[in-house]
Amino acid sequence: MPTRLRELLSGTRQRLLWLEYDEYARQVFANGASDWLTQSGRFSTTMIQARKALKTEVVSLDIAAPGMAAVTRAAEPLATCLNALADPIARRFVGDCIDALAHQLGSQVDLVLRVPSPLDLLRQVGGGAEASFDELDEVGAALVASVRQFAEKPISGLLLTRSVDTAMTRDEQDAYSPLLQAAKHYSWVTCLQCTESVVSAAAAQWSEVDLVLCAALSRAQVTDLNTRGLKFGGGLAQNIWSDRGHSLEKIEATLLFGTVPSDANPETVLARCSSLAVAE
């Protein structure tokens, strides 16, 4: 079945708006709820309500966040990550949210599974700056197992997010490859989100990635990079959402990608999204 992301890749769609906004939704629409990742009904209702205002055409759901939410720095980072990712309550939360979002938004958006990189997850619980291949591989395998739980859901893509601002090692590539291969097996679009300093190198390293996303890239950079073969998305850096953000007129045909800050002024966000929105 054609999806917005597939249409973008094939060239039949010229422009797409993809906003990450779950933390913004929690703060603005759910009053900063502390149990945000345990109540699937409220989470889904809030995300649907916020999406009506933001007009994003892609909605991603972090499949690791519910299990990792209560985790703190641990003496055994690997075991802590594996236990959190295997938590059946957390997996049920994700499944329930996917069902609710698909029911209410299915015709309006592409749903994407968001997966933090194994290195990011290990660092979150106190892992070292350079995890071993075995550690990365085990966390990667646990993420693949989680992804498989949702293979029958109406998912359009998988987004691997990497916040580490260092070059990707060969061990990382090898450990992450099964995740992307699983997504390809399910005919999902594969996406990589990374920092600006490593975006070009990351793109060159990943033949399995369909889209490379970096909000900090300017729209001019996105346009330039897209002439080199791979598809890139960005153009919506943090300053876009400030009261003194740049004008968003004359948006070029491209994949516009960014994260709405949780502390952004709602009126400013609405104004920006109104100028960004593609007619549905």
DSSP code for 227: G
Model pTM above 0.85: yes
Q: What is the mean pLDDT of residues 221-230?
A: 77
pLDDT tens digit sequence for 185-208: 999 999 999 998 888 776 667 778
DSSP calls for 135-198 = HHHHHHHHHHHHHHHTTTS---EEEEE----SPPPHHHHHHHHHHHHHHHHTTPEEEEE--GGG
Residue 280 is predicted with a pLDDT of: 42
- At residue 229, the pLDDT reads 65
Q: Does residue 123 register a pLDDT over 90? A: yes
- pLDDT tops 70 at residue 249: no
Per-residue pLDDT reduced to its tens digit, 18-71: 999 999 999 999 999 999 999 999 999 999 999 999 999 999 999 999 999 988
Q: Mean of the pLDDT values across residues 135-161?
A: 97
**Domains in the chain with CATH codes:** 4-8+18-265 (3.20.20.210)
The angle at the Cα of 72, spanning 67 to 77, to the nearest 5 degrees, equals 85
Give the per-residue pLDDT at 115. 98
Per-residue confidence (pLDDT) for residue 41, from 0 to 100: 97
Task: Say yes or no to pLDDT of 5 above 60.
Answer: yes
